[in-house]
Structure 1
Amino acid sequence: MTNHESPDFNQEILLERYQVQQELSKKAGRRSLLARDLQTLELVVVKILSFGNEFEWNDLKLFEREAETLKALSHPAIPRYLNYFELNSPNSKGFALVQSYIPAQSLEVQLKAGRSFSEEEVKELAKAILEILKYLHGRQPPVIHRDIKPSNILLTNRSGNSVGEVYLVDFGSVQTIARTSSTITVVGSYGYMPPEQFNGRATCASDFYSLGATLIYLVTGQHPGDLPQTDLQIEFEQVANISSGFSSWLRRMTEPIASKRLTSAEGALQALEQPGNATYTQARATNSTVGKPPGSKVVLNKNVNFIEIIISPIGSLLNFNRIYIWSLILILPFLFILISIILTGYRSHSYIIFPKLLILIIMFLFLVCFLANNILHILIDFFGEMRLYISRQQISRTFNLFRIERHSPLPSPMQNISQLERTKDIANRPYLIIWAGSRKYEIFTNDANSFPVTLPELDWLAHELSDWLGLPITRE
């Protein structure tokens, strides 16, 4: 068998225990097989990650994480972990995960076969998945699925008006909030993945977006990626025959800005049972108008890879005055000693002059170092710019003068960003903090600072950062 040929596992016995019955699915480097456990005689699913041309080490990390997660979970609507072993057979080399078999078709298969869903059935399905997410997100640490879509939802035993039993499968993209990494893994599926997940960041609210997009597929019959969008919001109402209350709920689930989205399974269930939230509709209309204030000189650049904010100085005299005062404090004794040496030096002996000269030289060097260290600050405060830059790798805030950069604070890994806080200083003036571990990157409205923004600019930048980072804006 060459590297380009697909292995045939039919009737092969893996680990001298699992007899392969048929192949269920196949994608790059991975296969799902239906097998019979010769010890229990039960049907099981064997998921295989093969070494080959398409293998990447990151695939193994995700595969092992799936096994770890399933081993720790116990829920009737989630496949049970049964075994995990290294595979070394004539057909394939790699790793295998064994889990319980659920005899049901995926939602995707049923949709393609022509099955349709009433609004009540879609709501029933939504409640069932939310109950599963309530369990997953309630774990310590919370478990985020990150790939909810029709092919990962199984339905069985449909009867009467009941949608049937609902199962959530394929935890190959799962993540726990406690995990941190020096690299970003972007996982998910086009059309079902929220904006923040493109940046490698996922929260519990990310699963709600994916669920909402899946339900939109059910009520429209169209892939969410094929529907029009306005400011990244999926526009589905024109092709969905559903009540206004349910439509409003789906909009809340698929808000592109994570901070505006429903953030807990309990809250989503409660909102689903209490449709027609006029307060939310009004709040959304108000929040959607947050944009760059007219006449603002703040520059904002962003795409899926970075967000950059550039703020020009107002020429604050605060640092200038502080440096001027300290310079006087240092210069006055320097001049006093210098004059003393000039007036008395020619009548004094060397043993009297020498200590004064030594003190004079030390003070002179200290003064030069002080001025050299602070003159750049003064020039930046009047002629430079402040640049806040966040990429998929790190966050940095620099004060730039031509091509000279001064970091304050030092850069931090992007994965350390944990909170976007809007707070106030001791004078009750609002400002914004991006917390990255113990470091904070601030944007001020205080005009005593050399790079302040106006209050409308602060609100605009806060919402842009919240949108890009996928973090809610917390308030003091």
Structure 2
Amino acid sequence: MLTSGNILQERYQLQKQLGRTAAGHQTWLSTDLHTQEQVTVKLLAFSPQMEWEELKLFEREAEVLQSLEHRYIPRYRDYFSIDRETGSGLPWFGLVQDYIPGSSLQELIENGKRFNESDVKNIAKNVLEILIYLHQLSPPVLHRDIKPSNLIYGDDKQIYLIDFGAVQAQAHVTGVTFTVVGTSGYAPLEQFWGRAVPASDLYALGATLIHVLTGIPPADLPQKESRIQFRDRVSISPHFISWLETMTEISVEKRFQTAKIALECLIDQNNQHFLPSQSAKINKLSPPKNTRIQLEKTAEQLNIYFPPGLKSFINQYNPNINKWIYYSSIFVIGLSFPVVLFPLIPRMWNDSPVFGLVFLTTMLMLLAGIIVLVNQKTYVNINPNQLEIKRKLFGLVYGLKVGKTSDILGVFVYQNKSSRGVKIRSETKSYTIIENIKEEECFWLAQEIQDWLNSR
């Protein structure tokens, strides 16, 4: 276990841990013994529980930071790894940056500090200047995790942007990436579809400024039609309210196009870039090739039909599978139960009734799962009043879920170790629309649903 006083790479002496970090992550205030300067050492433990994506993000952070040079972004110094012996049984990866004396905005809020309109506008200007620099690089660099804990109010009264652990350097700003990162309440919906654009950082900044003004995390503020409701909790100018509402528009098309335009509008109250014609844009996704999802949209309702799922499940691994292979696999699986497995049950029952019962139960559950997978159909209907999700098996409706359309907060793409899919989140619960579909189908479907909701 790493403790204060440990020396890493015969150079960096750990002093004290900084902030709250996720499991397997540590950030230390340290001393560079070569220069006697204070530095920040960010560490990632390479454990069996860690997903490879975490290491890829950590390496990407180091790679991107090496290329950045901005006075309000802590400077990159070093990147290293330490072995199991030094790391108390685990290999660790380390990233070293300049240390910025000060406190995060999150710490200041928790300690009771309140910010007035002038304070918050100055914070906005400082961060927008940083974003102008990042977004104008080639390729553009997106931070993707702007929030109060990642903004340091330095002892020099300046704002510093830290923690590039979610950073994305895009070859094409509107391209798709499945690395879904960000913090709920601050990250906009398109980021949860894996489609972050520069305007996504603007949303996160807007949500952060609302948190700073109100003292309340945006996820805990009321929402109406997926928009953060904060007007009644602040005493600021109408222009600044409108500016913040534009920054946090749920639809990326209605936000400012760039950080530069956002800064110009903040400074100049007569700037006409509030107009939608100057908004950000995100490319419209076309229906994925060979998708079996059927979607019908009108002004009054959205209907989605998902056919039986085994082929979709197989297709996410091999989209070009032949239909004869598909049906043959069903036949072989179905035949294996009565011909191969069930005759074994009496023999097992005689040898051990308990084991025989467990085996029979397991086989029946597996068979039931395959039957559902092969035959289940899913129907989704969304109209101005109601969201309805129902599953059908042999014509029988089950698993009916109903919610109010007005309660919907947004549409999200998710991925875990076993599946990926699309969810709709409301004020009180989440609804799984579909899972085990191809990556491009997830993005396309999430965008289609959100576009319909935005058009209401």
Q: What letter matches 2:46 in structure 1?
A: F
* Structure 1 residue 415 displacement after superposition: 9.9
**Aligned equivalent of 1:124, options 122, 147, 150:** 122
Secondary structure of the residue aligned to 1:128 is helix
The 3 A distance-change label for structure 1 pair 42 and 252 is same
Query: How far apart, in 2, do the equivalents of 1:391 and 1:219 lie?
Result: 30
* Structure 1 residue 65 displacement after superposition: 0.3
User: In the alignment, what sits opposite 2:63?
Assistant: 68
User: In the alignment, what sits opposite 1:146?
Assistant: 144
Query: How far apart, in 1, do the equivalents of 2:262 and 2:452 lie?
Result: 24
CA contact (8 A) 1:182 1:415 kept: no
Q: What letter matches 1:171 in structure 2?
A: F
Query: How far apart, in 2, do the equivalents of 1:87 and 1:151 lie?
Result: 28
How do residues 115-264 of structure 1 correspond to structure 2 at under 5 angstroms? 115-157=113-155, 164-178=157-171, 184-264=178-258
CA contact (8 A) 1:391 1:414 kept: no
The 3 A distance-change label for structure 1 pair 72 and 279 is closer
Q: What letter matches 2:166 in structure 1?
A: S
Secondary structure of the residue aligned to 2:18 is strand
Which whole-Å deviations, capped at 9, do the CAs of 1:35-62 have from their partners, x for residues lacking one? 1111111111111110224321110000
User: In the alignment, what sits opposite 2:317?
Assistant: none
CA contact (8 A) 1:258 1:466 kept: no
Secondary structure of the residue aligned to 2:62 is helix
The yes-or-no answer on 1:101 pairing with 2:95 is: no
Give identity over the alignment, percent.
Answer: 43
The yes-or-no answer on 1:464 pairing with 2:454 is: no
Secondary structure of the residue aligned to 1:27 is coil
CA contact (8 A) 2:261 2:273 kept: no
Query: How far apart, in 2, do the equivalents of 1:213 and 1:101 lie?
Result: 26
CA contact (8 A) 2:256 2:274 kept: no
Query: How far apart, in 1, do the equivalents of 2:276 and 2:256 lie?
Result: 16
Query: How far apart, in 2, do the equivalents of 1:141 and 1:155 lie?
Result: 28
* Structure 1 residue 299 displacement after superposition: 2.7
* Structure 1 residue 279 displacement after superposition: 9.0
User: In the alignment, what sits opposite 2:28?
Assistant: 33
The 3 A distance-change label for structure 1 pair 242 and 179 is same
Query: How far apart, in 2, do the equivalents of 1:170 and 1:203 lie?
Result: 18
Q: Which runs of 5+ in 1 are unaligned?
A: 1-6, 159-163, 285-291, 303-389, 396-410, 418-433, 435-459, 469-476
Which whole-Å deviations, capped at 9, do the CAs of 1:39-91 have from their partners, x for residues lacking one? 11111111111022432111000000000010000010001111111112143
Secondary structure of the residue aligned to 1:98 is strand
Query: How far apart, in 2, do the equivalents of 1:217 and 1:261 lie?
Result: 19
User: In the alignment, what sits opposite 2:440?
Assistant: 414
Give the structure-1-normalised TM-score: 0.58
Query: How far apart, in 2, do the equivalents of 1:231 and 1:301 lie?
Result: 25
The 3 A distance-change label for structure 1 pair 85 and 179 is farther
User: In the alignment, what sits opposite 1:299?
Assistant: 303
Query: How far apart, in 1, do the equivalents of 2:18 and 2:413 lie?
Result: 39
Secondary structure of the residue aligned to 1:28 is coil
Query: How far apart, in 2, do the equivalents of 1:141 and 1:129 lie?
Result: 19
Which whole-Å deviations, capped at 9, do the CAs of 1:381-410 have from their partners, x for residues lacking one? xxxxxxxxx977999xxxxxxxxxxxxxxx
The yes-or-no answer on 1:44 pairing with 2:42 is: no
User: In the alignment, what sits opposite 2:261?
Assistant: 267
- Considering only CA atoms, is the larger Rg found in Structure 1 or Structure 2? 1
**Aligned equivalent of 1:23, options 6, 13, 17:** 17
Q: How many residue pairs were aligned? A: 306
The 3 A distance-change label for structure 1 pair 465 and 177 is farther
Q: What letter matches 1:112 in structure 2?
A: E
Greater than 2 Å deviation, 4+ residue runs: 179-183, 274-284, 296-302, 390-395, 411-417, 460-463, 465-468
Which whole-Å deviations, capped at 9, do the CAs of 1:185-219 have from their partners, x for residues lacking one? 21111110101111121000000000000000111
User: In the alignment, what sits opposite 1:310?
Assistant: none
* Structure 1 residue 461 displacement after superposition: 6.8
CA contact (8 A) 2:69 2:75 kept: yes
How do residues 268-283 of structure 1 correspond to structure 2 at under 5 angstroms? 268-275=262-269, 280=274
Query: How far apart, in 1, do the equivalents of 2:178 and 2:107 lie?
Result: 32
Q: Which runs of 5+ in 2 are unaligned?
A: 279-296, 307-411, 422-436
User: In the alignment, what sits opposite 1:370?
Assistant: none
The 3 A distance-change label for structure 1 pair 73 and 48 is same
